[in-house]
Amino acid sequence: MPPALEALAEQLVRSGKLRISTEHTKNFVRMGTSDSDETFTARELAEPTLAAATRARVARHVAPAEGADGIQRVWDQLLRDLKVGRGVSAEKEMKVARVLVQSAHPAVVQLLIISGTEIFVSYAHNVADLMQVRDWEGHGMNSGLQATETTGTQVFISAGGDPFFEGEQKTYTTDGFPALARMVIIAGQEFGHFADLRRQNLQNSTNFIVSGRHSTDSHHSQLRANPIAGDGRNADLRRVNELKLLYFKAKLPNLRKSERGVAFYHTRYKFTPPWLLYQTYRVFAWSIFVLNCRRQGVYYPLKTYPYYRFGESLELFLSDMEFNLAPDADVYRDPDPLVEEAIAVIEAVARVPQQVHKWGHVAVKAAWPNLYAFYYGMIIPTNETVVDGRQISININIKQRIVIFIHGTLRKRPAYYP
């Protein structure tokens, strides 16, 4: 990573706000009292720079009559409960933090740290093991979640496996690269929701007033979509359908037919005459497709794996971009069609960074030009304004570029890496 992002990851770890639940261990403990279900990390309880603020939070839930002894009893119980969780190593905390800081724009990560937002990361397939008991039934089965309260904002992310697994004895079939990819994508979406919150900074402090969302209409008393985002979403839906038609005219079906033939013989009769024939057919079909795309002025050069399934990846790209503009789930339903539209707009805007992680900036900008401009041209600059004076630059010099290139080239790829 650029050195500035490495420093940002270290800052996230030192903040004590990173709560991690692996398969068998946790680095945080929950304080279950009659009026609270707060959580505290090992760093918040042990490090002198954080312990004073943590003790003040604990004191708010202890009756004044119990005094310092009552606070100490709760504190000692928290430390005992923390030992049961067995903790998470500093190395693993840094690995998780490095993934998170690459899952969002630096200004969004800075805002997460400055505002004291608690970030929960689970290796499970949902966030059930992270939720408060009273919230589990309604939200525990989600793969990600982002609370929107004015204070105490929290972000929940599930990886669906161990994202850093290397070896043979997997706990989940998704351990390794699939979990790492899922973690980045879900974090991108939940951080997108976090960035979408409209904030005001009080006297350049860490106190923020959340007054709504950029993707909703602030001039309307009911939940309504921001006209710019709403119109942009509708225009992008038309754009995706237009791309489908243009790619069809460019002979995408012929390219897909050749790829299916290559895939069949590649796994059964590699280097046989039929395999060579279909490889030749695929090169010919791909050349015709590229030529037709250039004539029509449409985007085509996706970077996909494996390379001989470019047409299949392009179809998946179009399907995925269309689905995420209008996600289909019961939770997005509402009797009021305008409210339902607003929910769809909120979700689509938050999924812009998620789609960038999947397909790249160029591809998303080509398929979603309006929502891409809304997120990176309006929401991100607003986030940068909120953290004014604390912004960082991730630009790297030529020496750093060479070091990163050599490291990435020579580093041994884990077996699960595509």
Q: Write the pLDDT tens digit of every residue in 18-77.
A: 999 988 899 999 886 655 678 899 999 999 999 999 999 888 888 888 888 888 988 888
Clarify whether residues 125 and 152 are in a common domain: yes
Domain shared by 184 and 297, yes or no: no
Percent of the chain with pLDDT over 70: 88
Tally the domains of the chain: 3
Q: Is 221 within a domain?
A: no
Q: Which residues pair with 20 in a beta bridge?
A: 121
> What is the pLDDT averaged over residues 410-414?
70
Asked, for residue 416, whether it belongs to a domain, the answer is no
Q: Are residues 311 and 239 in the same domain?
A: yes
Specify the range with the lowest mean pLDDT, choosing from 59-63, 86-90, 154-158, 249-253: 59-63
Q: Which residues contact 377 (CB under 8 A, 6 or more apart)?
A: none
* Domain-embedded: residue 405: no
The boundaries of the domain holding residue 46 are: 28-77
Distance in angstroms between the alpha carbons of the first and the last residue of the chain: 20
For residue 174, being part of any structural domain is answered with: yes
- State the number of CA atoms in the 13 A half-sphere of 100 facing the CB: 34
Residues 265 and 358 in one domain: yes
Specify whether 95 is located in the same domain as 72: no
Q: Is residue 22 part of a domain?
A: no
Q: How far apart (Å, rounded) are the C-alpha atoms in residues 414 and 406?
A: 17
Q: Same domain, yes or no, for 184 and 265?
A: no
Residue 125's pLDDT is what?
83
% of the chain surpassing 90 pLDDT: 42
Last residue of a domain, one of 189, 213, 237: 213
Half-sphere exposure of 239 (CA within 13 A, CB side): 20
* Residue 308, in any domain of the structure: yes
Q: With 60 as the cut, is the pLDDT of residue 287 above it?
A: yes
Q: Is residue 253 part of a domain?
A: yes
Q: Is 247 exposed, middle or buried (0-12, 13-18, 19+ CB in 10 A)?
A: buried
Q: Which own/partner pairs from 321-326 qualify as long-range (CB within 8 Å, at least 24 positions apart)?
A: 321/240, 321/355, 321/359, 321/364, 321/367, 321/368, 322/237, 322/240, 322/241, 324/348, 324/351, 324/354, 324/355, 325/233, 325/236, 325/237, 325/240, 325/368, 325/371, 326/237
**The tokens 């693993």 sit on which residue?**
92
Looking at the structure, do residues 260 and 317 belong to the same domain, yes or no? Answer: yes
Q: Which of 90, 197, 101 is nearest to 154 (CA)?
A: 197
Same domain, 235 and 370: yes
Q: Within this chain, do residues 71 and 149 fall inside the same structural domain, yes or no? A: no
pLDDT band per the 50, 70, 90 thresholds, residue 219:
confident
Same-domain pairing of 231 and 371: yes
Q: How confident is the model at residue 206 (pLDDT cuts 50, 70, 90)?
A: low
